[in-house]
């Protein structure tokens, strides 16, 4: 076996997996615990709120309160986010075929879909705020805003990464040999999407 140094390009690793890719998988493993703790907190406090607004239609002491969630709206924004995973896959596939122009288009599309999702979330947060739901109004407000806000921050970071890659691409630095950069961004992006499926199911859909 040839003696190669770690810094050398194309170094073979003991597992055969690229260092950075392994790092990303480990990071995502620890992300599971971040989101897991927040989702667990949400589920623990589900139905414990004593002050309106409530997430779903609720009747307390004969008084009916209509739920605050707008499921059709959030379904649409969830669909937008899931579609961004598709464009992410197309971006990577294009770059690996060395079709840089198509890759740029798909990267930008992914970022824009992400921004659309964030805009939807901003709209939703504002609506809820006007209906009286804040971080301090009830335990539902605390858990809802912190969990979905934590996820939204992840989407925002993802958008920042995608836009950085887009700028790299404009400068001709995003090539098929360096597609790992995009692949790593993709791993992160898909993870954030999958987490949203969990949040959408547990937080919005299950009553």
Structure tokens at 103: 């890759």
SS3 58: strand
202 membership: H or E segment, kind and range: none
The total of other beta-carbon atoms located within 10 Å of residue 42's CB is 21
Binding track over 35-54 against other proteins, x by CB under 8 A = --xx--x--xx--xxxx---
State the nearest-atom distance from the C-beta of 1 to other proteins, in Å.
5
Binding track over 133-152 against other proteins, x by CB under 8 A = --xx-xxxxxx--x---x--
Examine residue 125 and tell whether it contacts other proteins (CB under 8 A).
Answer: no
d(CA 144, CA 74): 14
Q: Which of 54, 84, 164, 200 binds other proteins (CB under 8 A)?
A: 164
State the nearest-atom distance from the C-beta of 199 to other proteins, in Å.
14
Angstrom distances, CA of residue 67 to CA of 46, 147, 206: 13, 19, 13
100 membership: H or E segment, kind and range: helix 100-130
Examine residue 23 and tell whether it contacts other proteins (CB under 8 A).
Answer: yes
Structure tokens at 39: 């989702």
Binding site for other proteins (CB under 8 A): 1, 3-8, 13-15, 17, 19, 22-23, 26-27, 29-31, 33-34, 37-38, 41, 44-45, 48-51, 135-136, 138-143, 146, 150, 164, 171, 173
């Amino acid at each position: 076996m040839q003696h190669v140094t770690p810094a050398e390009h194309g170094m073979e690793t003991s597992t055969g997996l690229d260092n950075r890719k392994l790092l990303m998988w480990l990071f995502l493993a620890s992300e599971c615990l971040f989101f897991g703790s927040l989702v667990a907190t949400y589920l623990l406090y589900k139905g414990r709120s004593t002050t309106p607004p409530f997430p779903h239609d609720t009747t307390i002491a004969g008084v009916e309160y209509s739920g605050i969630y707008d499921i059709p709206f959030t379904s649409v924004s969830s669909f937008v986010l899931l579609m961004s995973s598709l464009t992410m896959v197309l971006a990577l596939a294009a770059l690996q075929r060395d079709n840089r122009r198509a890759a740029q288009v798909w990267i930008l599309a992914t970022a824009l879909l992400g921004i659309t999702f964030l805009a939807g979330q901003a709209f939703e947060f504002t609506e809820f705020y006007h209906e009286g739901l804040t971080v301090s109004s009830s335990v539902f407000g605390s858990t809802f805003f912190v969990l979905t806000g934590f996820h939204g921050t992840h989407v925002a970071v993802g958008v920042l990464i995608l836009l950085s890659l887009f700028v790299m691409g404009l400068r001709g630095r995003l090539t098929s040999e360096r597609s790992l950069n995009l692949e790593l961004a993709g791993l992160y992006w898909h993870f954030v999407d999958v987490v949203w499926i969990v949040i959408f199911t547990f937080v919005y859909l299950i009553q």
